[in-house]
Structure 1
């Protein structure tokens, strides 16, 4: 990876793109100091958080038409999938594969797709749904990237090369990358009235990222900024979701129980429940050879009713409903000490009270990893908590009380700032385009 090539004219029109694991947000600056969010309209709803999802549906026909496929993205992809789940290939959270050398391609409706093909298809549909807002694209785009990409052995150079190939297909010729929490820092800096050292904590779906930035006012009122350090960890909201499912749902669907094989009692394979890490993977499990074995297990399971419930969840394509129930529980526990988890799909009904302290115990490993990364950012900048003036929390998981408690305990309530939890990164990325020296804040792939 190399730094951006040159000092650029400040104030050039710029697009900032926060391509997230869960949602993607786009913002524009038109040569001024205002960042404008790109918005979308669907079913009389106005939104700016565009779901990072794709759907592929085959078109019935003969000859060349038989190989055609309808591609959708965002909330339109979810609608297409829910309308015809068995004939639609649905992909979400594909950002988690960006830095994986093990992921080379996937086959969808008899066509091979590399990661850059998926991202390009997603971006093209996002642009189309934006209409006139993105009809004329400036050459410069600043794309957010996590401090640490998701995965066990992430290859960040590979990820940026894949990003580059996808964004080039939209016609961009000046493609730069900036750390996501740095983008959030630029968004927050507009609120500063005096010099400050700011820690930005950005919690996405797949990663949690941290940056320390020093902001200072020059005599002419210009806000100058200096990056101090950064750190990150590949766990965030998606990992919290999986902990809930693993504790509340999977045991009701047979995880941890046994089946009989001749005179032996054997545990039901754990791999059947790994697919619950993301709801779109459940459809793939239903289409896999494991599904035949799961159906056979119902006859030999010690608790066949639980395996029957698992089969019903998979056959009925109830994954989306399941994750909506998970999201509802997380949201409720953000403001209540106890809430009830409710999941109803067909004849399957799971209803359990959950105390916030239980949830916090489930996600303890992720909380520890997050706090370790915060300490790393401070160590790299040779700072203690006392040297940080403001802490800006952004991203969906910043609402989780146990996450917020890490920062309250270490920095104190007076230093904590929130706001723009879903727009801060994209807007800040676009605002970075105003900087005279982009080398300081951005990088190129290569």
Structure 2
């Protein structure tokens, strides 16, 4: 069967281009003729062309509804007219395909979060299994196809990477190995730069005097911080990195807190089951995976579903387990993600919001106060604040020596996160903007430097 493609629902609008990039940025002539910066994010991916000397980077326009912002997601489905019998789409097209045929699709999102995880081996997709780098290459191939030639025959790509990868015990060497395999052949040169450092490089373009800058980048999977000393315009090296720190906590973790409080009680969390003559707690691993966007879709495999069916038959209350099975079998990860995202954005704007998620098996409606949500994420926000402390300590810079703070990334809009910086640095020192595009712009500026190696992580 060949599936038709058309827009089934509105997709999130793209982020605004940062206001701090001027029309003219004096830079060294590039060593590479065709260079780009690529912000491969947990939630979204953005590419920017370095352009010729003296011009600001330009975001790569894609033939999608969102324009420059490409969702970091993949959707697979069976198609006998495709070689191998398995078709795939990425970005907004992945969402569109899923929305048209949810039960016949496999929708994967936030797969970047598994890059440094040794527990992740392959992702089961129907009868096939894909390694991280295979998922990544499929994603890059689709991104390139939607870019209308802008990403063809590249000489250099500078890719953003987190200071600290997501996961409880991230393996940085493994992540680098997987990234290298993913980007092999994408360009003649591939370099990696800390994401907040890239944002600092772009932010420096609008500064006219020496500045000690703290950049805080809050993405979907990680929160990363860089302290950078910025020299006056015309200096031989405009930006000098002083210290970095990060933590594998960001927007997806906040989402998991919402799922834990509002959804998992309907899926059996806290319930019990019989094992011979004993009454035991239902294993928590199922609920941890259910609240993790990078793992939820992977639960749709024979082994996990067989285990859940056994658990359902032995559960004291089988109905919640039936709901969990239905959530997995009916590929409801994206509607759940959408409901959680709507709540989180509403709580960013107001002091209360309504949560609504419904399927044939379960309807969840709840009023949530911002104060409640902030209580759920308090421990996570404290760990973010601790990473800020580590970045300052590594840089040997006291709070009072920070002249400017630049906040970027979607999670930077959460009031409890912004409060970390408002309380410590004051509103007058804080700037923000380009939540979805600032890193790609900074990476592109680095990409046209002669000595890119001076910036690589």
Length-normalised TM-score, structure 2: 0.86
The correspondence for 1:253, drawn from 267, 272, 275, is 267
Aligned length: 428
Post-superposition shift, 1:21? 1.0
* Runs of 5+ unmatched residues, structure 1: 1-7
Given the superposition, is the C-alpha separation of residues 280 and 10 from structure 1 closer, same or farther in structure 2, using an over 3 Å criterion?
A: closer
Cα deviation for residue 39 of structure 1 reads 2.1
Alignment match, 1:373: 387
1:141 is aligned to: 157
Change (3 A) 1:317 1:105: closer
Matched, 1:399 2:413: yes
SS of residue matched to 2:42:
coil
Q: Tell me the residue number matched to 1:225.
A: 239
Superposed CA deviations along residues 379-421 of structure 1, whole A, max 9, x for unmatched, are 1111111100110000010011111100111111111101000
Q: Which residue of 1 aligns with 2:5?
A: none
**Pairwise CA distance, 1:304:** 4.3
- Three-state SS of the structure 1 residue aligned to 2:154 is coil
Report which stretch shifted further, 415-424 or 245-254.
245-254
User: What's the offset of the Cα at 1:94?
Assistant: 1.7
Aligned-residue offset at 1:438: 2.4
Q: Which residue of 2 aligns with 1:152?
A: 168
Mark the CA change 1:29 to 1:309 in structure 2 (over 3 Å): closer, same or farther.
Answer: same
Asked if the contact 2:57/2:441 (under 8 Å) is kept, the reply is yes
Mapping 1:156-305, distance limit 5 Å: 156-170=172-186, 172-218=187-233, 220=234, 224-260=238-274, 264-279=278-293, 281-295=295-309, 297-298=311-312, 301-305=315-319
Q: How far is 1:292 from its partner?
A: 3.9
Report if the CA contact (8 A) 1:208-1:235 is conserved: yes
Deviation at 1:435, TM superposition (A): 3.0
> Structure 1 pair 255/60, CA: closer, same or farther in 2 (3 Å)?
same
Partner of 1:41: 63
* Structure-2 separation of matches of 1:206 and 1:168: 24
Unaligned runs of 5+ in 2: 1-27
Aligned pair in 2 of structure 1 residues 84, 278: CA closer, same or farther (>3 Å)?
farther
Once the 2 structures are TM-superposed, how far is the Cα of residue 236 of structure 1 from its aligned partner?
0.7
Is 2:114–2:294's contact at 8 Å kept on the other side of the alignment? no
Give the match's secondary structure for 1:217.
Answer: coil
CA 1:439 to 1:300, structure 2 compared with 1: closer, same or farther past 3 Å? closer
Name the CA distance, whole Å, in 2 between partners of 1:107 and 1:394: 34
What is the aligned partner in structure 2 of residue 68 from structure 1? Answer: 85
TM-score computed with the length of structure 1 as normaliser? 0.88
2:49 matched to which residue of 1?
A: 28
Structure 1 CA distance for aligned equivalents of residues 393 and 336 of structure 2 = 40
Distance 2:300 2:453 in 1: 48
Q: Distance in 1 between matches of 2:441 and 2:141?
A: 20
Deviations 1:251-293 (A, max 9, x none): 1222112345676543223232222223464444343334345
Asked if 1:98 corresponds to 2:115, the answer is: yes
Partner of 2:412, secondary structure, is: helix
**Aligned 1:118-137 pairs, distance under 5 A:** 118-135=135-152, 137=153
Distance 2:401 2:301 in 1: 54
Cα contact 2:124–2:298 (8 A) shared by 1: no
Equivalent-residue separation in structure 1 for 2:316 and 2:128 (angstroms): 42
Contact 1:282 1:317 in 2 (8 A): no
Preserved contact between residue 29 and residue 52 of structure 2 (Cα < 8 Å): no
How far is the alpha carbon of 1:17 from its aligned partner? 0.4
CA shift digits 1:5-59 (9 cap, x unpaired): xxx85475420001111111100022233111112233xx242221111223233
Please, what is the CA RMSD of the aligned residues? 2.5
Moved more, 272-281 or 378-387: 272-281
Cα pair 1:313 1:348 within 8 Å, conserved: no
- Give the SS at the match of 1:173: strand
The answer as to whether partners of 2:215 and 2:225 remain within 8 angstroms in 1 is yes
Task: Map Cα deviations across residues 45-76 of structure 1 (whole Å, 9 max, x no partner).
Answer: 24222111122323337xxx773321211121
How much has 1:126 moved relative to structure 2?
0.5
2:78 to 49, 58, 70: 58
Q: Secondary structure at the match of 2:396?
A: coil
| CA distance in 1 between partners of 2:306 and 2:192 (Å) | 45
Cα separation, 1, equivalents of 2:128 and 2:199: 38
1:89 paired to 2:103: no
